[in-house]
Amino acid sequence: MSASAKTKIVPADPELWRKAFLDLCPSVSPCPGLTGANWSAIYEQAVGSLDQRAYEAVQLDWTMLDLFGVRPGAGTIRSDFCGALVLGMEPVFAIEGPPDSGPAER
């Protein structure tokens, strides 16, 4: 499936992305395979990334699933089904075009 044909479950609105993400609890892992300490670090980096790069991500056609998607039931145990910000505990310094396929397309 081409990038232009992606299903965008959540509107490409950085403010909605940030609000939805902030509704998650930084001390409670939201999915299988993501431990508390790792989740806290990922949460902090994701909030910072949303603050600094969300509008750029929208312009480059990234979706909420490209950034934060995980496979239901498997969580982060299957890293090949995870969004770009779910596995990273490091700051995001740049964003390029989205991957050819993301968690929503597999």
Q: How far is residue 33's CA from residue 42's CA, in Å, rounded to a whole number? A: 13
Counted domains in the chain: 1
Residue 11: inside a domain, yes or no? no
Residue 37: inside a domain, yes or no? yes
Q: Provide the percentage of residues in the chain whose pLDDT is more than 90.
A: 11
The confidence score (pLDDT) of residue 10 equals 60
- What's the pLDDT band for 100 if we cut at 50, 70, 90? low
Residue 13: inside a domain, yes or no? no
Q: How far is residue 10's CA from residue 93's CA, in Å, rounded to a whole number? A: 24
Domain that holds residue 48: 32-98+102-106
Residue 41: inside a domain, yes or no? yes
pLDDT digits (tens, 9 = 90+) for 38-61: 889 999 999 999 999 999 998 898
Residue 15: inside a domain, yes or no? no
* 75, β-bridge pairs: 71
